[in-house]
Amino acid sequence: MIMKLIFIWVLFCIISCNQAHEMQEAQALEKRPFVVEGRVHGILGDKVRLMGFYGHQTMIIDTAFVDSTGRFKFHIDEDLPRGMYRILLGKGIRAQFLGGGEQFVDLLFKYEDIIFQTHFEFPFDSMQVIQSAENEAFYKYLLLKDDVQKKLEVLQQGIQHYPRTDDFYRVMASQYREIFDAYKSFVDGIHKQFPGSLLATIVNFDRIPYVDPLLEQEQRNEQLKKTFFNEQDFRDTLLLYTDMIPAKVIRYLSLYRNDRQGQEVQEALYIQAVDVILSYAAVEEDIFNNVLNYLLEGFEQFGMETTLLHLYDNYVLGNACFDDERMASLKDKTEAIRRMGIGQPAPDFSIVDMKGQNVQLSAIEAELTLVAFWATWCGHCTELMPEVYNLYRATDRNNFEVVAIALEDDKTDLTDYLAHYEMDWINYSSFKRWDCPIARKFYVFATPTFFLLDEEKNILSKPMSIRDLRSFVY
């Protein structure tokens, strides 16, 4: 009996040791450094960069050198989270001369080695995944989706314009449905082949929503607004490690864009859109907060002040995810928007302009006065200001005056620019950049920022473009 008990104990120890060893091996396999090896034919530079995502934020993780055959290799740290990663390949010749972004490839990383090759000019179309079944399926999906979207768009145009009584009309409608059904079957197949994978999460969130092609364009747009997020699950935080969420948000906002409307109506439409987006994102706290930050930054950047106030009042106040510094910044900006709102009196100021003339804002007798905050280092400003000057030259000073306040620190840059364009309106700079006292009075956080004032120097408008400005001046 004793011998039997000893035997069982030894056997138990052996099994336990083997299980522990197998567990250690499994952990070592999962935690070992991984390799992403690529070859890009026709690549121009000698370095590539690995970039990661967290919601709408991106970060450069590593850099690798490219050899003479276009090969490079990244050694991936074992602590890098699962997600989508982008390899930046550099700019092509066209982008270098005419402007544009870098060529890139996207890869899904889940603790495995990845080997691929592609061509620099057509990195997605020519992608060949040599090792990684999930990435091979990922690129099949991307190419299929692109093909499906193109075909559906062409068929949709045909259906909208072709006579409904013709037999070919019904053929096009039937073909539209067949193409969409084939796409849906492919997506369902990915879920069966890669259950619970990052690929399945991405494909599900990226689904093309079905909209009846027989509806008129306005009806289709309204149906798309209602069904856009029906298939999407915002609960999976893996999405934060991809570019899926910001891309989806932008596509949904585009459904509410109407260039024929003024800014007031457009912002009302965007408020409807953000309420829908945030209602879906609310199921997961981290995703909700990331989407909210993305919307705040975007509408702040584009000067959509009414939408920004709506977000602040309804979603920011009382939200514990914002630290004290961020909350104070948002509070300052929203208070500034309220103080500098349409109909509010503009802060008065007195300056000595660059011609040595004393100028007081309240003493300007023009029917309309534009106070323009800009800078020579601001690319959008340098494109917009000559257009404003053309408008200025075409109007009478009794009707329209401009006070151009440059947020500069270098006098030479400003005088050279003004001389080049012969801008002889009222020019001023304190040469303190953002510490300019007048900019502080007007709560200016970005350039260009325009305030169009009426004869009593109340804020009439905050034009965002030359078209907006022209609509008031003429």
- DSSP H or E stretch at residue 159: helix 133-161
175, two tokens: 């073909």
CA–CA dist 260, 467 (Å, integer): 12
CA–CA dist 359, 348 (Å, integer): 11
User: 130 near 116, Cβ under 8 Å?
Assistant: yes
Strands 83-90, 47-54: pairing is: antiparallel
Tens digit of pLDDT for each residue in 260-278?
Answer: 777 778 889 999 999 999 9
User: 173 near 159, Cβ under 8 Å?
Assistant: yes
User: 180 near 200, Cβ under 8 Å?
Assistant: no
- Supply the pLDDT for residue 348: 96
- Supply the pLDDT for residue 29: 45
CA distances from 213 to 154, 259, 422, 461, 462 (A): 11, 24, 55, 41, 40
Which residues lie across from 71 on neighbouring strands?
Answer: 39
CA–CA dist 117, 41 (Å, integer): 8
- Number of neighbouring beta carbons within 10 Å of residue 270: 21
Residue with tokens 């995810």: 321
CA distances from 265 to 89, 188, 270, 310 (A): 41, 40, 9, 14
- Supply the pLDDT for residue 320: 65
CA–CA dist 310, 327 (Å, integer): 15
- Number of neighbouring beta carbons within 10 Å of residue 180: 19
- Supply the pLDDT for residue 10: 38
CA–CA dist 462, 21 (Å, integer): 69
- Number of neighbouring beta carbons within 10 Å of residue 142: 17
Side-chain-side CA neighbours of residue 296 (13 Å): 22
Q: Please give the full DSSP string across 234-250, using - where no structure is assigned.
A: TT-GGGGGSSHHHHHHH
Question: At 323, is the secondary structure helix, strand, or coil?
Answer: coil
Q: What predicted TM-score, i.e. pTM, was given to this entire model? A: 0.75
- Please identify every stretch of the chain with a pLDDT value under 50, giving residue numbers as ranges: 1-29
- Work out whether the CA dihedral 418, 422, 423, 427 comes out positive or negative: positive
Q: Please give the full DSSP string across 259-303, using - where no structure is assigned.
A: TTS-HHHHHHHHHHHHHHHHHHHTTSHHHHHHHHHHHHHHHHHTT
